[in-house]
Amino acid sequence: MVPSLWIWFLVVLWSPLPEKPIEIPEVLVLDDVAIIDVVEGGIRENMTVTIRGDRIESIQRKSDAKPPPSAEVVAAAGKVLIPGLWDMHVHITMARESSLPLFVAHGVTAVREMGGNLEEVLAYRDRVRKGVILGPHLKISGAVIESSQFLGALKQLRQMEPDFADEFSRLVTERVAIRDPDHAREFVKKTAAQGVDFLKIRSVGSREIFLALAREAAKYELPLVGHVPVLVDLAEAAREGQRSFEHSFWGFKHRNRTEAQKKELFRSLAESGAAFTPTLITDRGYRLTPDHVLRSFLNFEEGDNLPHVQERPLLSRRLLDSWRMQLALKKYEGAGFDWVSIHEEAKKDILLLLECGVPILAGTDVGAPLVIPGASLHDELEMFVSDVGMSTLQALQSATVNAARFVGEEEDRGTVEEGKIADLVLLGGNPLENINHIRDVESVILRGKMLDKSRIVDVRKEVRSLVEAGN
Ligand SMILES: [Zn+2]
Average pLDDT over residues 196-219: 95
pLDDT tens digits along 17-31: 555 666 667 999 999
Phi, psi of 234 (to 5 degrees): -60, -45
Question: How remote is the CA of residue 362 from the centroid of ligand 1, in Å?
Answer: 13
Q: What is the pLDDT of residue 307?
A: 82
Question: How remote is the CA of residue 11 from the centroid of ligand 1, in Å?
Answer: 61
pLDDT tens digits along 119-129: 999 999 999 99
Question: How remote is the CA of residue 356 from the centroid of ligand 1, in Å?
Answer: 25
Number of other CB atoms surrounding residue 262 within 10 Å? 19
Question: How remote is the CA of residue 71 from the centroid of ligand 1, in Å?
Answer: 42
Examine the pLDDT at 2 and tell me if it is beyond 70: no
Question: How remote is the CA of residue 90 from the centroid of ligand 1, in Å?
Answer: 6
Question: How remote is the CA of residue 193 from the centroid of ligand 1, in Å?
Answer: 23
- pLDDT band for 1, please (50, 70, 90 cuts): very low
Question: How remote is the CA of residue 333 from the centroid of ligand 1, in Å?
Answer: 17
- pLDDT band for 252, please (50, 70, 90 cuts): low
Q: What is the pLDDT of residue 19?
A: 58
Nearest-10 crossing angle of helices 181-192, 207-219: 30
Question: How remote is the CA of residue 411 from the centroid of ligand 1, in Å?
Answer: 27
* Lowest-confidence pick of 145-159, 217-231, 331-345: 331-345
Question: How remote is the CA of residue 114 from the centroid of ligand 1, in Å?
Answer: 6
Q: What is the pLDDT of residue 117?
A: 93
- pLDDT band for 337, please (50, 70, 90 cuts): confident
The residue extents of the domains of the chain are 85-411
Task: Output the pTM of the full model.
Answer: 0.93
- pLDDT band for 341, please (50, 70, 90 cuts): confident
Q: What is the dihedral of CA 186, 192, 195, 196, to 10 degrees?
A: 100
Question: How remote is the CA of residue 12 from the centroid of ligand 1, in Å?
Answer: 58
Mean pLDDT of the chain: 91
Nearest-10 crossing angle of helices 148-160, 165-174: 170
Q: What is the pLDDT of residue 155?
A: 84
Q: What is the pLDDT of residue 304?
A: 63
Q: What is the pLDDT of residue 309?
A: 87
Examine the pLDDT at 230 and tell me if it is beyond 60: yes
Q: What is the pLDDT of residue 335?
A: 64
pLDDT tens digits along 71-90: 999 999 999 999 999 999 99
Q: What is the pLDDT of residue 168?
A: 85
Q: How far is CA 190 from CA 121, 216, 340, in A?
A: 17, 11, 40
Question: How remote is the CA of residue 426 from the centroid of ligand 1, in Å?
Answer: 29
In terms of pLDDT, which residue wins out, 12 or 469? 469
**What's the number of CA atoms in the CB half-sphere (13 Å) around residue 347?**
20
Examine the pLDDT at 135 and tell me if it is beyond 90: yes
pLDDT tens digits along 427-451: 999 999 999 999 999 999 999 999 9
Question: How remote is the CA of residue 383 from the centroid of ligand 1, in Å?
Answer: 18
**Are 57 and 44 within 8 A, CB to CB?**
no
> Per residue in 34-67, is it b (16+ CB within 10 Å) or e — as a string?
bbbbbeeeeeeeebbbbbbbbbbbebeeeeebeb
**What are the DSSP E strand ranges found in 37-166?**
43-52, 55-61, 72-75, 80-83, 85-90, 108-113, 137-140, 144-146
**Are 146 and 112 within 8 A, CB to CB?**
no
Average pLDDT over residues 286-302: 86
Question: Which CATH number applies to 85-411?
Answer: 3.20.20.140
